[in-house]
């Protein structure tokens, strides 16, 4: 498990190579095996492959431009009528997606949409309008998925920082 966790990096450049359907299915399974508050499983996913839509999504925020280059973008949505903890549930779900993508030999990057602004105004309103997402849904993030154009270094054991750990009480 730690092997995959260390390999996971925020990859922002992808090969044009398409992603196998079977791999996307495994990634979506990982998403749907996430924990959720009260077991509500209120997530929904929009899978975007159309180049025009990918380009439009890449304009959502100042930090999303590269998503157009990923062959697949998973948009993590959340039904606020059935779910209770939008940010927590959908972020954990995104982490599962990110890690299973690495496990499948793919790469991704969490691209913030909730509470973000961009050239078209509020990024979440822009993405909802673009994808026809109903009013009662929120959008947490975009997860571009593809084969990394180049390898980033893995996380290393040197990032483990004992000073961040407190036993029994917080020590200053
Ligand atoms: C909540 C959250 C929002 C993020 N938003 C963006 C984003 O909008 N665009 C982007 O390129 N990276 C985004 N990132 C990726 C971070 O920049 C990245 O995780 C961080 O620099 C650490 O690098 P690593 O993921 O390769 O370990 C986001 C990450 C998190 C957890």
Q: Binning pLDDT at 50, 70 and 90, where does residue 82 land?
A: very high
Reported as a single tens digit per residue, the pLDDT across 19-46 is 999 999 999 999 999 999 999 999 999 9
Q: What distances in angstroms separate CA 81 from CA 19, 22, 148, one per listed residue?
A: 33, 31, 37
- Residues 52-60 have a mean pLDDT of 98
User: Is the sign of the CA dihedral 9, 10, 15, 16 positive or negative?
Assistant: positive
| CA–CA dist 140, 152 (Å, integer) | 25
Res. 91: pLDDT tops 90: yes
Query: Is residue 170 one of the residues assigned to a domain?
Result: no
Ligand 1 near 99 CB (within 6 A): no
pTM of the model: 0.97
Q: Quote the domain boundaries for residue 91.
A: 2-164
pLDDT in tens, 94-143: 999 999 999 999 999 999 999 999 999 999 999 999 999 999 999 999 99
Residue nearest to ligand 1 atom 12, measured at CA? 111
> Is 20 within the bounds of a domain?
yes
Residue 172 lies inside a defined structural domain of this protein: no
Task: Tell whether the model's pLDDT for residue 159 goes beyond 90.
Answer: yes
Number of domains in the chain: 1
**Ligand 1 pocket check for 92: Cβ under 6 Å:** no
Q: Is the residue at 154 inside a domain?
A: yes
Task: Check if 98 has its Cβ closer than 6 Å to any atom of ligand 1.
Answer: no
pLDDT more than 90, % of the chain: 98
Task: Determine which residue's CA is closest to atom 17 belonging to ligand 1.
Answer: 10
Q: Is residue 171 part of a domain?
A: no
pLDDT of residue 170: 95
SS3 assignment, position 159 = helix
pLDDT attached to residue 155: 98
6: domain CATH number is: 3.40.109.10
Whole-number pLDDT of residue 42 = 98
Percentage of the chain modeled with pLDDT above 70: 100
pLDDT at 171 over 90: no
Query: Torsions phi, psi of 121, nearest 5?
Result: 95, -145
7 close to ligand 1 (CB < 6 Angstrom): no
Is 172's pLDDT higher than 90? no
Which one of 5, 10, 99, 101 would you pick to mutate in the ligand 1 pocket, going by the greatest count of ligand atoms within 8 A of its CB? Answer: 10
| 89, containing H or E segment | helix 86-103
pLDDT over 90 at 87, yes or no? yes
pLDDT of 84 strictly over 90: yes
């Amino acid at each position: 498990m730690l092997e995959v966790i260390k390999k996971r990096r925020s990859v922002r450049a992808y090969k044009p190579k398409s992603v196998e359907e079977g791999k996307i299915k495994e990634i979506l399974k990982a998403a749907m095996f996430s924990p959720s508050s009260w077991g509500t499983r209120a997530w929904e996913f929009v899978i975007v492959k159309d180049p025009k839509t990918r380009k439009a999504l890449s304009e959502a925020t100042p930090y999303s431009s590269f998503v157009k280059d990923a062959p697949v973008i998973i948009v993590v949505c959340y039904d606020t009528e059935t779910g209770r903890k939008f940010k927590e549930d959908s972020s954990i779900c995104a982490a599962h997606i990110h890690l299973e993508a690495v496990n499948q030999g793919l790469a991704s990057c969490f691209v913030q949409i909730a509470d973000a602004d961009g050239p078209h105004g509020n990024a979440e309103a822009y993405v909802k309008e673009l994808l026809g997402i109903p009013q009662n849904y929120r959008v947490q993030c975009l997860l571009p998925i593809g084969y990394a154009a180049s390898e980033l270094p893995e996380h290393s054991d040197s990032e483990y920082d004992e000073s961040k750990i407190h036993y029994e009480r917080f020590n200053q």
